[in-house]
Amino acid sequence: MIQRQKGCNDIYGREAKIWKYVESVVDAAMEKYNYTFIRTPIFEATELFHRGIGDTTDIVTKESYDFEDKGGRSITLRPEGTAGVVRSYIENKMYGDPNQPVKVYYNGTMYRYERPQSGRDRELTQFGMEVLGSDDPLSDAEVISLAVNIYKMLGLKEIKVNINSLGDTESRNNYREALVEYFKPHIDDFCEDCKVRLEKNPLRILDCKVDAENEILKNAPKTLDYLNEESRDRFEKVQEYLDVMQIQYEINPNIVRGLDYYNHTVFEIEAKVEGFGSNNVLGGGGRYNGLVSQLGGPETPCIGFASGIGRLVLALEKEKVNVPIIEDIDLFLMYVNEDEKKYAAYLAQELRMAGFIVDTEYTGRGLKGQFKQADRLKAKFTCVLNSEDLDNNEVKIKNNKTKEEEVISLDAIIYYLDEQLNLMEAEDDECGCGHHHGEEHECCGHCHHEEE
């Protein structure tokens, strides 16, 4: 048997419905914030990622899917979304558009050659947004609020927003030096990984889990102390705007993002649900003012955010969020002989065009099997097409919940189904708040009925 590739997933059935739903919420939110969709290639020139994300980052040095195509070009499957968007921004001269800043969002698969574990795959799907051409702290706050609001719209409650500022290049370099100086005399007290980090990426020592309780680490200099005045003012502005938007956050000086291109505001949003495992960061982002010019475009201040959809779906499950997906059908058409089958084919089409979710039998089951199939599909109504009834221009429709059966004129079937389904929905939503029973909403007192 040919198996799927390691760390890749087939998403189908109920899970696929949840994904589609999540994506629809993302689309809706992006629309409200006036971000437009951008679709860029899944593979790019290898150089883009090396120059853009940085040669020292793991996702470029050891986790990238590199290959040579038949024309001898060096190709890399994108490990993240920002580099491609920035390339597109430069190549399409979006900086010349009078409509600034450019606000775009994407949603697509990314590829990282890693060892799979909980919440981590080799092919992952991320959505994200980028604001290109604005240095306004309001943009930072807006991106964070958008990210948080998407999670809220999805119904997640147990989330935590961590923000930090790395400052501008000057501040960041000063801080880095100070940190190395600080740790150097004590480095023997730290774990092996941290000894490596001291050289490679000293900021990550702050995030070490092994040495988290080490006093030396706790007293380490903080990024915020090394911000120059301008950087500090800008970070304060971001916080002011977040406060105005009533976005809850915590300043966490240990947030250091993995990609080289970040400066100033960086943030991460984590799921605080029980049982999530170690990969509980749903999304993260930050400002990358130097990237566009580094890739050959004009000096352009930018900020972005990206979130893994797989982890998001996982979080929805862990939090037991009720996801409004359609899992039942309106009508299942049954038949026995060929004439009835033809009528089923005709009627199914008519009703589908009229907007109903209709299914019928395709595998030659007997009536007993068809009834079982109707139950499996959670059909709200069933209908056994009967030659005699059809001769009289009638059809019997059974409400699968009440088991009541009614004889309807064929001309009235659309009207009848419409009415019955509306009635059913009204019963399901008797308080009129627009939410089904069992859904957790605080709009009314009626929506917290027991769930089965």
CA distance 364 to 281: 49
- The nearest distance, CB 391 to RNA, in angstroms, is 11
Binding mask 317-336 for RNA (x = CB under 7 A): ------------------xx
Among 382, 397, 408, 417, which residue sits at the site for RNA (rule: CB under 7 A)?
Answer: 382
Q: Judged by CB under 7 A, does residue 55 bind RNA? A: no
Of 256 and 447, CB closest to RNA = 256
CA distance 235 to 166: 9
Q: What are the E-state strand segments in 366-426?
A: 379-384, 394-399, 405-409
Q: Judged by CB under 7 A, does residue 119 bind RNA? A: yes
Residues 134, 138, 143, 144, Cα dihedral to 10° = 150
Q: Judged by CB under 7 A, does residue 278 bind RNA? A: yes
Q: Judged by CB under 7 A, does residue 281 bind RNA? A: yes
Tell me the torsion sign for CA atoms 168, 173, 176, 177: negative
Q: Judged by CB under 7 A, does residue 386 bind RNA? A: yes
Q: Map the footprint of RNA across residues 183-242, applying CB under 7 A.
A: 193, 197, 201, 204, 208-210
Among 25, 150, 351, 385, which residue sits at the site for RNA (rule: CB under 7 A)?
Answer: 385
SS3 (DSSP) at 371: helix
Q: Judged by CB under 7 A, does residue 166 bind RNA? A: no
Q: Which stretch binds RNA (CB under 7 A): 38-46, 121-129, 138-146, 294-302?
A: 121-129
CA distance 35 to 132: 11
Q: What is the DSSP string of 19-63?
A: HHHHHHHHHHHHHHTT-EE----SEEEHHHHHHHT-TTSHHHHTS
Between strands 358-360 and 250-251, the pairing is unpaired
Q: Judged by CB under 7 A, does residue 174 bind RNA? A: no
> Is the link from the previous residue into 101 a cis peptide, with omega within 30 of 0?
yes
Q: Map the footprint of RNA across residues 361-380, applying CB under 7 A.
A: 365-369, 371-376
CA distance 332 to 143: 46
The binding site for RNA (CB under 7 A) comprises: 3-8, 57-59, 63, 80, 112, 114-121, 124, 126, 193, 197, 201, 204, 208-210, 257-259, 268, 277-279, 281-284, 306-308, 310-311, 335-337, 340, 365-369, 371-376, 382, 384-387, 396, 398, 400, 403
